[in-house]
Amino acid sequence: MARSKSSTEWLKEHFNDEYVKLSQKEGYRSRAIYKLKEVQEKDRIIKQGMTVVDLGAAPGGWCQYAVELVGKKGRVIGSDILPIDPIPFVEFIQGDFTDERILEELLELIGKDKADIVISDMAPNLSGNDAIDQPTSIYLCELTLDMAQRILAPNGSMVVKLFQGAGSDEYLKEVKKSFRQVKIRKPKASRARSREVYVVAQQFFSTN
């Protein structure tokens, strides 16, 4: 089947992308790792010995990078509806974490010591209709915040991808109710035309 002009242009842009080439050269599973890397270099959110929970982990690039940062004494736990090829030192649960059974499995794996940071690069399968895509992306951010509120230890952190638009300001207000420090980052690896930014929330405090 012949490719459309737009998909051909996307493929050309993708394979010419400096971060795609860099990820292939350095052995990472996706260009998205450089978004997290830039946040890490600026905010030092992941430290040795931490427990990191990566929601929507497939294909596993963020998990790969997190393993390097936490070292042998840390833990990286990933979860996604999609399967991922095994990554050394990453504990992975396949399934929808909004499913009670998967949630319980995740909570049991994390244990009573809780997580130090929740990271999420989740995005919906885009339809091209902003009236559908934007609410769906905000919903994924809300799910991440809800999970962070459940599993973070005091003073923990959260990094979540947010598409700016309807509902994004309201979402940030909710984040600020649970974290003392909230910043917005636009990494260089995020394509300039994209409305995606990353919310870096630190110093979690329980609102219960």
Which residues are catalytic, by number? 161
* Cα 176 to Cα 172: distance, rounded to the nearest angstrom: 6
User: For 138-165, what is the HEC assignment?
Assistant: HHHHHHHHHHHHHHEEEEEEEEEEEECC
Number of residues in the chain: 208
Of the candidates 59, 6, 69, 54, the one whose C-alpha atom is nearest the C-alpha of residue 31 is 59
Cα-flanking dihedrals φ and ψ of residue 124, to 5°?
-75, 160
User: Residue 93: which residues within 8 A CB-CB, separation 6 or more?
Assistant: 77, 78, 79, 102, 105, 106, 109
Give the position of tokens 């405090």.
Answer: 205
Binding residues: 60, 62, 80, 96, 121
Q: How far is CA 161 from CA 1, 88, 118, 120, 171, in A?
A: 34, 25, 12, 6, 12
Binding residues for S-adenosyl-L-methionine: 60, 62, 80, 96, 121
Torsion of CA 164, 170, 175, 181, to 10 degrees: 70
